[in-house]
Structure 1
Amino acid sequence: MMNSSFEQLATLLKAAADPIRLITLKVLQDSSYGVLELSEICGMKQSGMSHHLKVLASAGWLETRKEGNSIFYRRSLLTGAHQALLAQTWLALEQLELPLEVRQRAEKVHQGRIEAAREFFNKHAHQFKKHQDLIAEFESYDATVRQLLQSAQYQHQRLAIEIGPGAGEFLSTLSRSFDQVLAIDISADMLAKAQQRCEQQRLENVTLIQGEISGLDQATPAADTIIYNMVLHHVPDPARELRLSAERLAPSGCLLITELCQHDQTWAKENCGDLWLGFEENELVHWARSSHLVHRQTIYVGLRNGFQIQCLLFQKPEAA
C-alpha cells in the first residue's frame, strides 16, 4: 500500500500543476478574495473558479475564512509537514509577474473595495463617533496604544504616519512625540473632521493627506512609526497594506496596530462599514513577518460588550 505521506505530497503537487491555479496562488500572495472576485480577476466563469479553489483548498494550498455570509480564500499559513514546499513555492511565485490583464482586473477589484469604504465614510462622517462607539470607544484603547508607543525603542522621532486617523483623536499624542506627523485617509469628509480637531488643538506639525499609503510621494522621508488604530478591518487588502507600510518604515522604525480580534458579529459590516470581522493575532503576525518586521509584543484589551481588542507592536530591523 502507498505510504500516506507520499499520497499527501502527490496530491499537493498535482493540485498546483495547472497554470490557472498557479496564477490564483500568485493573486493571493498578499490578498484574500471571494470566489466572485477571483472569477473576475482570472477572467473565468464562477463554476470553473470554484473547482480550482476546491482542489487547492482540499490539497492544503489554500484556507477559507467566513466573513458573515461570504467565504474568502487565502494562502495557507506555513505549518505542517509540507511547509518547506509551500515556502519554496511562494518564493518561486514571488519571482513571477502576473499577466497584465490579470493585474488590471485585480486592481479594478481593489479599487472597488476602496470606493465602497470611501463612500461609507463620506456618507457617515457626521455619525463617526456613534458608529465607532458601537464596537469600541477610542478611550477604551487610547492608554494602551500610548503605552506601546512609549515602549518602542526609536533611533529617531522625526516622522510619524497615522493611516485612517478618524476624527483625529490620536493626532495630539503623535504631535507631541514626533517632529512631523502625516495623517492619511481615503475620505475627504473624515479628513475634514481631523482638520477641525488639529485647528482646535493647534497641532501645527500635522499634515493631512487624502489618499492611501501606496500613493505617498516617494520623496517623503522614511517613517519612524506608522499607526493603524482600528483601521485594518476597513482596508481592502490588509496583508498588502502592511507590506507597503513596512517599506515606508525607517530602520528600527515601528508599526503599531490596534485591531479587533476575530468575531462573528455580522451587523458590523452594514452598520460600521467593516470589510473584515476582525483578525486572529497569528494572521497579523504572519503578514508582518512576511514583510520582514519583528513582532515585539501584543497587549489585549477586553470590552464590556464582548469584543476584544489587540494592540500589536512590530519593528523593522536595523540596516546592516
Structure 2
Amino acid sequence: MNASWDILKSLSDPTRLRLLVLLSREELSVAELQEILSMAQSRISSQLAVLRQAGIVHDRREGKKAFYSLREDLPERVRSLVSAAVDSVADLPEVAEDAENLARILLKRRRQSEEYFNLIAGKLGRGYCPGRSWEAIGHLALRLVPRITVADLGAGEGLVSQLLARRAEQVWCIDNSQRMVEVGTELARKNGLANLTYKLGDIEAVPLPDRSVDLAILSQALHHAQHPQKAVQEAHRILKPGGELLVLDLKEHDFERARELYADVWLGFRESALHGFLKKAGFQKVDVTTVARETTEPFFETLLASGTR
C-alpha cells in the first residue's frame, strides 16, 4: 500500500472522488460508470487506473467486462482517509445526481433479470437450463430430512420445492419474478400442496424472519445474484441454529453467451469462491464438491456446496 501522501494525492481529483463515492456503494462496470457520470470511457478508465495503482480499488474481469469496487482489505488509516474524502463531497449537487443515476442503473439491472424470468415463466421445466439436471438435483434431494421447514431461495417455478413439499412440513419459495410466483402458486394449488407457499422477494433481502427455517436452498440461483455474498448471508440469517444451507450452482466457465441466453450475472463460481462465501457468512462444516459434468459443449459442471449454521 502506498504512503498516506500518495493516497491523498489520488483523492485530490473531483472525478476520482465521484468514482469513489459510487464504488463505496456498489461494484460497477466501466460501462455503467460511463452512463452514470456521462463521461468518456477513456477519462473514466484513466482515473480508475490511478485509484487502482494507489491500491484503493481493484478490478474484476467477467468476459469482456471490467468491474471495479473498493478494496475490502484497506488498512484502517487508508479506509479513514477515503471515508473522510467521500463524506466531504456527499452534499455536492453532482454527487446527488450521481446517486440518482446509480439507483436507475441498479433498477435497470434488476429489471433485465426480472424480464428474462417473466418471459420464461411456465416454460422453465421444458427448456434447457445450464446445470439443471436430474443428476445434480438428485444429489441435493438426497440431503433432505423429512418434516422440516425449507426455504427455496430464487426458486423460479419451484421445481425442487414441488418435490420437497410432499414430505416437508412447510416450504417457502422466494423469487423476484411476479410471474414466476404466480405460476408456482398455481402449480402448488393444482398439486394440492397447501404447505407450499410462494412469496415475491429478493434472495439478497429474504422476506422471512430470522432463525425460521431448517434448510435453505440456493439451486442455480446464486449466479443470478448481484451480490452473492449477501445472498449467502441472508440464508444464514433465516436458518435456525443447526440448520443447513445447500447451494447448487455452476462451476466457473467461459461461456459468455450465458449472460444473454439465461440472464446470468456470474459465469459460475470457483470452488474456493463458494467455500469463501459460506465461511464468511459464518457457516461451519463447509463442503464444496463437483456433482455433475455435462457431456456436450460448453461442458457445464455443477457444484454442490453445503454448510451448517
Counterpart in 2 of 1:313?
Answer: 306
Distance 2:76 2:183 in 1: 44
Ranges in structure 2 where 5+ consecutive residues have no aligned partner: 12-16
- Cα deviation, residue 230, structure 1: 0.5
- Cα deviation, residue 130, structure 1: 4.9
Counterpart in 2 of 1:284?
Answer: 274
Pairwise CA RMSD: 3.7
- Cα deviation, residue 35, structure 1: 1.6
* Identical pairs, percent: 23
Matched-pair contact (CA < 8 Å) for 1:298–1:313: yes
Distance 1:138 1:92 in 2: 50
Distance 1:10 1:66 in 2: 24
- Cα deviation, residue 225, structure 1: 2.2
**1:37 and 2:32 aligned:** yes
Matched-pair contact (CA < 8 Å) for 1:228–1:257: yes
Q: Secondary structure at the match of 1:194?
A: helix
- Cα deviation, residue 161, structure 1: 1.1
Q: State the AA in 1 paired with 2:121.
A: A
Taking the TM superposition and a 5 Å limit, the aligned residue runs for 1:286-301 are 286-294=276-284, 296-301=286-291
Matched-pair contact (CA < 8 Å) for 1:165–1:194: no
Which structure has the higher relative contact order (CA within 8 Å, separation 6+)?
Answer: 1
Q: State the AA in 1 paired with 2:2.
A: A
- Cα deviation, residue 185, structure 1: 1.2
Change (3 A) 1:247 1:47: farther
Residue 134 of structure 2 is aligned with which of 139, 144, 154?
139
- Cα deviation, residue 304, structure 1: 1.4
TM-score with structure 1 setting the length: 0.74
Between stretches 16-25 and 61-70, larger displacement belongs to 16-25
Matched-pair contact (CA < 8 Å) for 2:211–2:241: no
TM-score with structure 2 setting the length: 0.76
Between stretches 304-313 and 169-178, larger displacement belongs to 169-178
Counterpart in 2 of 1:153?
Answer: none
Q: How many residues align?
A: 292
Counterpart in 1 of 2:2?
Answer: 10
Q: Secondary structure at the match of 2:124?
A: helix
Matched-pair contact (CA < 8 Å) for 2:157–2:180: yes
- Cα deviation, residue 311, structure 1: 0.9
Change (3 A) 1:89 1:106: farther
Change (3 A) 1:25 1:215: closer
Distance 1:295 1:109 in 2: 38
Ranges in structure 1 where 5+ consecutive residues have no aligned partner: 1-8, 78-82, 151-155
Matched-pair contact (CA < 8 Å) for 1:12–1:61: no
Residue 255 of structure 1 is aligned with which of 222, 240, 245?
245
**1:66 and 2:61 aligned:** yes
Change (3 A) 1:53 1:315: farther
- Cα deviation, residue 260, structure 1: 0.7
More helix by share: 1
- Cα deviation, residue 250, structure 1: 2.6
Matched-pair contact (CA < 8 Å) for 2:174–2:203: yes
Counterpart in 1 of 2:14?
Answer: none
Matched-pair contact (CA < 8 Å) for 1:21–1:56: no
Q: Secondary structure at the match of 1:288?
A: helix
Matched-pair contact (CA < 8 Å) for 2:60–2:67: yes
Change (3 A) 1:285 1:220: closer
Distance 1:40 1:275 in 2: 19
Q: State the AA in 1 paired with 2:134.
A: E
Distance 2:245 2:82 in 1: 27
Q: Secondary structure at the match of 2:104?
A: helix
Q: State the AA in 2 paired with 1:66.
A: R
Taking the TM superposition and a 5 Å limit, the aligned residue runs for 1:177-196 are 178-196=168-186
Distance 2:131 2:77 in 1: 40
Q: State the AA in 2 paired with 1:37.
A: E
Deviation string 1:39-72 (CA, Å, 9 cap, x unpaired) is 556x573555423432343455544333333222
**1:237 and 2:227 aligned:** yes
Q: Secondary structure at the match of 1:195?
A: helix
